[in-house]
Amino acid sequence: MSHLQLREAAEAIAAQALSLGAEEVTVRVGEGSYSQIERRDGKVEKAQESRSRSAGLSLMVEGRYSSHSSNDLRPDAMRAFLERAIAATRFMEPDPDRRLPDRDLMGDADVDLDPFDPAFESWQAADRGAAAERLEQLCQAQARSVPTRSISAYAWDGRSDSALVASNGFASSWSGTSCGHGASISLEDSDGRLPEAWSSYQTRHRADLPSAERVAEELVERGRKRLGSKAAPSGRYRCCWIGRWWAACSRC
- Residue 239 lies inside a defined structural domain of this protein: no
Confidence at residue 246, expressed as pLDDT on a 0 to 100 scale: 59
- Residue 171 lies inside a defined structural domain of this protein: yes
Confidence at residue 243, expressed as pLDDT on a 0 to 100 scale: 61
Question: Taking a C-beta distance cutoff of 8 angstroms, is the pair 153, 39 a contact?
Answer: yes
pLDDT at 252 over 60: no
CA distance 59 to 78: 14
Give the residues across from 45 on adjacent strands: none
- Residue 8 lies inside a defined structural domain of this protein: yes
Segment 147-155 shows an average pLDDT of 96
Confidence at residue 238, expressed as pLDDT on a 0 to 100 scale: 75
CATH number (domain holding residue 161) = 3.30.2290.10
Segment 96-100 shows an average pLDDT of 90
Choose the weakest-confidence range: 83-87, 112-116, 152-156, 198-202: 112-116
- Residue 43 lies inside a defined structural domain of this protein: yes
pLDDT at 244 over 70: no
- Residue 246 lies inside a defined structural domain of this protein: no
Strand ranges across the sheet with 64-70:
64-70, 43-61, 24-40, 148-166, 171-187, 196-203
SS3 category, 207? helix
Residue 63 pLDDT grade (very low, low, confident, very high; cuts 50, 70, 90): very high
Confidence at residue 17, expressed as pLDDT on a 0 to 100 scale: 97
Choose the weakest-confidence range: 12-16, 113-117, 137-141, 230-234: 230-234
- Residue 238 lies inside a defined structural domain of this protein: no
CA distance 220 to 187: 10
pLDDT at 30 over 80: yes
pLDDT digits over 163-216, tens only? Answer: 999 999 999 999 999 999 999 999 999 888 999 999 999 999 999 999 999 999
Give me the percent of the chain exceeding a pLDDT of 70. Answer: 95
SS3 category, 250? coil
Domain count, the chain: 1
Residue 230 pLDDT grade (very low, low, confident, very high; cuts 50, 70, 90): confident
Q: Which amino acid is residue 67, in one-letter code?
A: S
- Residue 29 lies inside a defined structural domain of this protein: yes
Confidence at residue 242, expressed as pLDDT on a 0 to 100 scale: 62
Question: Taking a C-beta distance cutoff of 8 angstroms, is the pair 26, 2 a contact?
Answer: no
CA distance 31 to 150: 36
Domain of 52 in residue numbering reads as 3-106+115-228
Confidence at residue 251, expressed as pLDDT on a 0 to 100 scale: 58
User: Residues with Cβ < 8 Å from 248, sequence gap 6 or more?
Assistant: 237, 238, 239
Confidence at residue 115, expressed as pLDDT on a 0 to 100 scale: 95
- Residue 237 lies inside a defined structural domain of this protein: no
